[in-house]
Each structure stands twice: as C-alpha cells, then as structure tokens.
Chain A
C-alpha cells in the first residue's frame, strides 16, 4: 500500500476538513523533544502542550505539503486538559481561514488533539506559503 501524496497547503480551500487521524506520543518521542528544546521541567506522565502541537502538525503533514519558502507566522494554543503520554490521540483539523496576498496564500490550520476521554489541546497555526496567482 502506498501513502497518499501530500497536497500543497495553498490548494486547500477555507473549510476543508482533513480526514481524522490518530497518533501516539511515546516516552521516546517526548524525551527526544525535551532534549532538543532543552526543557528540563518534570512533566511526569503528561506531554508538554507545544510538543503535542508540534507532533500533531507533523502528523498533518502526511496530508499537507508545505512548498519551499513557506513560513510559520503565527500560533495559538489552548489547553483544556493535560495530554497523556503513551495513549492514542485523535487529531481533527480543518482550514479555518484562507487569504491571498502578494503571491502568497495565508492559511490558518485549526486542529484539536483529544485523548480517549476528552479534548486536550486546540490550536491554530498560520502558514504563509507561496503559490497564489499573481
């Protein structure tokens, strides 16, 4: 079986819903994140929320390609419960906003990360990508 080829973010219209997916943040992945960021806080069995956001974005990139020259220009994160380590997490996302300016497409990806029992993190990521018609 082959994986679907990601589609450039600049192509998705406002309101596009990405297929729901699941991912798991293992101790190994979270430890690698904490080493890379240099964060020595004791999070215990919880995942740092920005780790969950970063790895959720990575999971979404199975569906979204970022063209060369894309920039991450803004980020919103809202936590409503600790993200549990080692449990399957449900990821749902959509294109909440889309606009064009000077040859760039500005897209806001809105997504939620939920554990089996509840919503944990809601986030909005703003990406400016080349690709709009001149």
Chain B
C-alpha cells in the first residue's frame, strides 16, 4: 500500500508561542518575554521545541491515522532554535519499508534551510 506523507509548512508567530505556552503550561520567559529573551544568547524569543515537533506529529497522523496513535515511534534531536516569523517545513523521507513497519527520516527545516529538528519515526504500515 502506498502511503503519501505530505509535508506540513507553517509560519510561527509570537501569538502562537503565547498560545502554546498557555496550552502546555510552559511559560518559560525565553518563549514569551521578548525583553527577557533579548538579553539571552538567543537574542530574542524562541519557539518551544515541542511546538515545532508537533508539526511532525501532525504530518505523520495525517498520513497514517490511527496506526500512528497506536504504534508510532519518534526519536529526535532539537538542533537549532526556531524564532517567531520562521516558516518551518516538516517532512519525512521513507528509509525502510519491511516487516510491516515503515521507517522515516524526519526533519523540520527553516526557510533559511537550517535544520531545526531531525530524527527518525517508525509506524506499523
């Protein structure tokens, strides 16, 4: 069976970071306080890693549906910060399809081509 994994592309905004902070309970000022964040090595606010990672979860659920909820595995590293205004593309490349399991190399990349998140995902096909 052919399963098409469509990339998810989204531009993150400060409003979205604020909404995610409220939804997740993670109010670390590095994500929501521009004045505080300006004085850190990042020079400004950065998105929650889990907010950016959510694009990969969204993409894989859209492709695999309930199989993703019942059998999905995801292992990633957060490689670089995502800033408000960045347009993030989450994508997956099939690396193995055998024994009833599909394995993907997954990543999130900024509009500048910077890898923000990379790792792998597996799901029962």
Q: Which A residues contact B (CB, under 8 angstroms)?
A: 29, 32-33, 35-39, 41, 43, 46, 48-51, 53-55, 57-58, 61, 66, 69-83
Instruction: Report the nearest B residue to A79, measured CB to CB.
Output: B72
Q: Are B78 and A75 in contact (CB under 8 A)?
A: yes
Residues of B within 8 A of A81 (CB): 69-70
Report the minimal beta-carbon distance from A79 to chain B, rounded to whole angstroms: 5
Interface of A is mostly: mixed
Q: Which B residues contact A (CB, under 8 angstroms)?
A: 10, 16, 19-20, 22-26, 28, 40, 48-51, 53-55, 57-58, 61-62, 66, 68-78
Instruction: Report the nearest B residue to A33, measured CB to CB.
Output: B23
A50 with B50, Cβ < 8 A, contacts A41-B61, A79-B68 known: yes
Q: Contacting A79 at CB < 8 Å: which of B23, B62, B70?
A: B70
Q: Provide the bound-state CA to CA distance between A55 and B22, in Å.
A: 11
Q: Are A75 and B69 in contact (CB under 8 A)?
A: no
Q: Are B75 and A76 in contact (CB under 8 A)?
A: yes
Q: Are B77 and A73 in contact (CB under 8 A)?
A: yes
A-B contact pairs, 24 of them (CB 8 A): A29-B23, A36-B16, A36-B19, A36-B51, A37-B20, A38-B10, A43-B69, A49-B72, A50-B53, A51-B54, A53-B50, A57-B24, A57-B26, A57-B50, A70-B28, A74-B77, A75-B74, A75-B76, A76-B73, A76-B76, A78-B74, A79-B71, A81-B70, A82-B66
Residues of A within 8 A of B71 (CB): 79-80
Report the minimal beta-carbon distance from B33 to chain A, rounded to whole angstroms: 11
Residues of B within 8 A of A33 (CB): 20, 23-24
Q: Are B23 and A49 in contact (CB under 8 A)?
A: no
Q: Provide the bound-state CA to CA distance between A61 and B20, in Å.
A: 16
Q: Are A41 and B58 in contact (CB under 8 A)?
A: yes
Residue of A35, A38, A58 most packed against chain B (CB within 10 A): A38
Residues of A within 8 A of B28 (CB): 66, 70
Q: Provide the bound-state CA to CA distance between A81 and B69, in Å.
A: 6
A73 with B78, Cβ < 8 A, contacts A37-B54, A46-B69 known: yes
Q: Are A36 and B57 in contact (CB under 8 A)?
A: no
Residues of B within 8 A of A38 (CB): 10, 16, 58
